Structure 1
Amino acid sequence: MIDMEFESGPNPNVLDNNYSIVLPKVQADICGACGVKIREKYLLRVDEQSWHLQCLRCCICDSSLEDHKTCYNKEGNFYCKPDYYREFGAKCSKCFGVIQSNDLVRQAGSQVYHLECFAFDNCKRQLSTGEEFALQESDVQCKTHDVEQIEGGDHKDSELAQKAKAKRVRTSFTEEQIQVLQANFNISSNPNDEDLDRIAHITGLSKRITQVWFQNSRARLKKATVTARGESFLYKWYLYFHINILSYSPCARILKKKLVCLFLLLIYIFNYLFID
């Protein structure tokens, strides 16, 4: 980081730690950017080098550094503060966003996280101070799930699959998350990758969990639709037999009871075979 001086000649009268003004201007300085003598009343000085006000610019956004109290010089290139932090500043190991100087952070080994990003990857719960955790690359695992994975590592594939199925963590959703998911499901029941990324970002869920929620919702909708169609079909046959056959039968009451039982049995079989 470089403090810039705002000058107009020798013998400075210091205004603050970053700027100084000099009167009068005795000798013309050479601009470090354009190489032309600086004849204006005011100039900028950085590392004993003089610049026209309009010549000292950020190499990323091309904005003038005249209004900045500080600038950054790396390998001969000058940066404004926001662009310097975007290019070279610390980044969160979870969201890969820039960590600003006023951000609250958590550090685990060589990894740095935003405070809100430092949460368990498997159960999405934020860590409390002093809580134990395991770090797998940039993923934060709670101790319970990490122990389960280590203990299961020496078993055979079949046993490992059974343990994983038995110890699968059930994801719980907040009311706000369900509202967002349901609203997007009403718009499109099968969103593309871009929409899944957007929805996952809004809800704070992982893309995989968001995708599974949509898959389950589509399955529930299909199940409800098939059930309604099947029951409607069976009910139509029930009405047909009731109106066209039982109405003319001398044993109508007995047959009606048997038909009702048969109708209920068919609904049960239909749900068992085609729904479950």
Structure 2
Amino acid sequence: MKTEYKACGGCSEQITDRYIFEVNGASWHGSCLRCSVCYCPLERQASCFLRDGDVYCKTDYIKKFKTSCAKCARSISATDWVRRAREYVFHLACFACDSCGRQLSTGEQFAICEDRVLCKTHYMELIDDGTTSSEDGCDADGSGKGSKTKRIRTTFTEEQIQILQANFQIDSNPDG
């Protein structure tokens, strides 16, 4: 019986070693499986990462491909709550008007002007002053399309929410 040897994804030589490492369907010598950034050996690592044909250790993969907040530049983990606007991603707490610092709510109108997030009030002040136009890199509503205006979302205080919930407990169908 003839043994078939696989070609290594790193050096292209046949693998005759006792152990073969498989990464995304490619076979590797243990000594050839290295991070494409820091060249650390990955044969004893519990995992490695593959992107665009390159192999990475966990540290270099995170450094190279992590998502960062557009405002604070800190990394965004998979468990963080985020807001997205155009190509930008923000931590929930960082998605605030750059003029007044007020955190913006889901559905609230805003603009991104020269990489600054502005609430509707401060965007309108900027427009009324005549210091900017849509050609200057400002995008009202953050949609990037100039489409129809979004409705402003109703927001409630904690006290108002408690009152609404208490009334709902009494009568779950106020219209009926």
TM-score (ref. length: structure 1): 0.40
Return the alpha-carbon distance in structure 2 between the equivalents of residues 127 and 99 of structure 1: 18
CA contact (8 A) 1:85 1:98 kept: no
**Counterpart of 2:37?**
60
**How many Å apart are 1:44 and its aligned residue?**
0.8
CA contact (8 A) 2:98 2:117 kept: yes
SS at match of 2:27: strand
Q: Does 1:86 align with 2:63?
A: yes
Query: CA offsets per residue over residues 64-112 of structure 1, 9 Å max, x none?
Result: 33324452132x4222344334324443222334433333211112321
SS at match of 1:84: helix
Larger RCO, structures 1/2 (Cα 8 Å, 6+ apart): 2
Query: CA offsets per residue over residues 207-256 of structure 1, 9 Å max, x none?
Result: xxxxxxxxxxxxxxxxxxxxxxxxxxxxxxxxxxxxxxxxxxxxxxxxxx
CA contact (8 A) 1:118 1:126 kept: yes
**Counterpart of 1:71?**
49
**Counterpart of 2:166?**
none
User: Which amino acid in structure 2 is aligned with residue 126 of structure 1?
Assistant: Q
2:92 to 96, 109, 115: 115
**Counterpart of 1:34?**
11
* Superposed counterparts of 1:253-264, under 5 Å: none
CA contact (8 A) 2:48 2:56 kept: no
Return the alpha-carbon distance in structure 1 between the equivalents of residues 60 and 114 of structure 2: 28
**Counterpart of 2:162?**
none
Of Structure 1 and Structure 2, the greater helix share is in 1
Return the alpha-carbon distance in structure 1 between the equivalents of residues 76 and 127 of structure 2: 33
2:73 to 96, 115, 125: 96
CA contact (8 A) 2:9 2:27 kept: yes
Identity %: 45
Distance 1:62 1:54, change over 3 A: same
TM-score (ref. length: structure 2): 0.58
Indicate the RMSD between aligned Cα atoms, in angstroms.
2.7
Distance 1:33 1:97, change over 3 A: same
Return the alpha-carbon distance in structure 1 between the equivalents of residues 46 and 114 of structure 2: 38
Q: How many corresponding residue pairs? A: 128
Return the alpha-carbon distance in structure 2 between the equivalents of residues 73 and 129 of structure 1: 33
Return the alpha-carbon distance in structure 1 between the equivalents of residues 29 and 12 of structure 2: 10
1:125 to 95, 102, 106: 102
Q: Which ranges in structure 1 are unaligned for 5 or more consecutive residues?
A: 1-25, 155-276
**How many Å apart are 1:141 and its aligned residue?**
1.0
* Superposed counterparts of 1:191-270, under 5 Å: none
Return the alpha-carbon distance in structure 1 between the equivalents of residues 96 and 82 of structure 2: 12
CA contact (8 A) 1:58 1:80 kept: yes
SS at match of 1:60: coil
